[in-house]
């Protein structure tokens, strides 16, 4: 599982970073993969309100935010951590929040469903110097709206007042323990999921569709990854089109090799679609061969047939009835 931390304080080793690092350290200790993104030192421009995301579904600004979109999509848990600057998050964090409009558009303009959306959790950590009664109100509201835009349920916040000097949070009687406990509570339900690795040749059509359906139908019980024996440069645009017809959003996915998929850890099951040669890399791991033809280079009609076949197979593999998707 993957926990993404968004660190919004410009102060090196400030209070926010101490809180977030404690959360992530506990998550790692429990077995999660984590990443602490130092948002305050990234080059993320504010949204220009150009409207491209609402017309085309992506943000054209070529800066560090382009690395953040796929991470937001991969995360099981997203932790936004920011000090209060003038009753809101820092400007650096606010730029990232505004740029998530590109993901908001995919959901609310294009009506597409990110397959991880149902299961992803969002959490806020924040500190401020004063005792103001409403100190965190604006930031909590903003966090709720941000998490909805990026496809995560808001799971609450831990906020600390009267934290001003760089190490004040370390003197707080309960903060670091509370953060650890929260990390345990959030991470634990994700830990015992069965791991399924879907493999095909290019990791551009079949294994991508299978992993998306599996995540969509069973992301609470299974953790999925996909890879290819000879990964292509990008996922197949026809595959994306065919999945769009099912309201499933395949944005920000890139083909990867079995080696690149290694952080996923040892799978409990490998499902291969024309890529049996990966089995020796996982001695002792049970496997299944799905005899699904490669739709690469074929028509959209053929892609649809393969998509529907894979959806049926995934639903019976994970033992769920196909549910109606909300769009």
Ligand X SMILES: Cc1cc2nc3c(=O)[nH]c(=O)nc-3n(C[C@H](O)[C@H](O)[C@H](O)COP(=O)(O)O)c2cc1C
Positions in the binding site for ligand X (CB under 6 A): 9, 11, 14-16, 83-87, 127-130, 132, 135, 163-164, 166
Nearer to ligand X among residue 50 and residue 91 (C-beta): 91
> φ and ψ at 227, to 5 degrees?
-160, 170
Question: Shortest Cβ distance from residue 139 to ligand X (Å)?
Answer: 10
Phi, psi of 4, deg, nearest 5: -105, 125
Q: Which DSSP string corresponds to 79-145?
A: EEEEE-BTTB--HHHHHHHHHTHHHHHHHHTS--B-TTTTT-EEEEEEE-SS--TTTTHHHHHHHHH
Nearest to 303 by CA among 212, 204, 231: 204
Chain center to CA of 83: 23
Smallest gap, in angstroms, from Cβ of residue 24 to ligand X?
A: 15
Instruction: Please give the structure tokens belonging to residue 220.
Output: 């609470």
Residue of 45, 61, 166, 155 whose CA lies nearest to 96: 45
Per the structure block, which two tokens stand in for 94?
Answer: 């606010």
Comparison of 8 and 202: residue with beta carbon closer to ligand X: 8
Nearer to ligand X, 57 or 166 (CB): 166
At its nearest, how many Å lie between ligand X and the CB of residue 168? 6
Closest distance to ligand X from the beta carbon of 38 (Å): 12
Beta partners for residue 194, in sequence order: 222
Residue 162 or 188: the one with the smaller Cβ distance to ligand X is 162
Q: Smallest distance from the beta carbon of 274 to ligand X, in angstroms?
A: 50
Which residue, 14 or 228, has its beta carbon nearer to ligand X? 14
Q: Tell me the Cα Rg of the chain.
A: 21
Smallest distance from ligand X to CB 162, Å: 8
268 phi and psi angles, rounded to 5 deg: -90, -20
CB of 156 or CB of 166, closer to ligand X:
166
> Which residue's beta carbon is nearest to the bound ligand X?
14
């Amino acid at each position: 599982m993957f926990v993404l931390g968004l660190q919004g304080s410009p102060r090196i080793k400030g209070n926010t970073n101490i809180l977030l690092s404690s959360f992530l350290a506990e998550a790692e200790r429990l077995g999660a993969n984590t990443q602490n993104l130092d948002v305050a030192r990234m080059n993320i421009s504010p949204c220009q309100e150009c409207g491209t995301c609402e017309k085309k579904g992506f943000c054209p600004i070529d800066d560090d935010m382009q690395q953040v979109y796929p991470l937001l999509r991969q995360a099981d848990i997203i932790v936004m951590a920011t000090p209060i600057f003038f009753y809101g998050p820092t400007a650096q964090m606010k730029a990232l929040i505004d740029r998530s409009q590109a993901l908001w558009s995919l959901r609310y303009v294009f009506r597409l469903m990110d397959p991880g959306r149902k299961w992803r959790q969002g959490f806020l950590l924040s500190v401020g110097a004063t005792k103001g009664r409403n100190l965190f109100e604006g930031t909590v509201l903003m966090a709720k709206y941000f998490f909805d835009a990026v496809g995560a349920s808001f799971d609450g916040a831990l906020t600390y007042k009267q934290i001003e000097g760089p190490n004040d949070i370390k003197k707080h009687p309960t903060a670091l323990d509370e953060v650890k406990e929260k990390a345990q509570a959030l991470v634990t339900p994700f830990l015992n999921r069965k791991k399924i690795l879907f493999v095909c040749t290019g990791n551009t059509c079949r294994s991508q569709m299978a992993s998306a359906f599996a995540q969509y139908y069973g992301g609470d019980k299974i953790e999925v990854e996909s890879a290819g024996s000879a990964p292509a440069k990008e996922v197949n645009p026809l595959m994306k089109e065919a999945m769009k017809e099912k309201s499933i959003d395949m944005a920000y996915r890139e083909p990867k090799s079995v080696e690149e998929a290694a952080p996923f850890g040892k799978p409990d099951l490998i499902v291969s679609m024309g890529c049996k040669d990966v089995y020796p890399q996982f001695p002792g791991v049970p496997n299944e061969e799905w005899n699904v033809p490669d739709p690469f280079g074929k028509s959209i009609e053929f892609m649809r047939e393969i998509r529907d076949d894979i959806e049926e197979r995934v639903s019976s593999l994970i033992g769920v009835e196909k549910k109606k998707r909300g769009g």
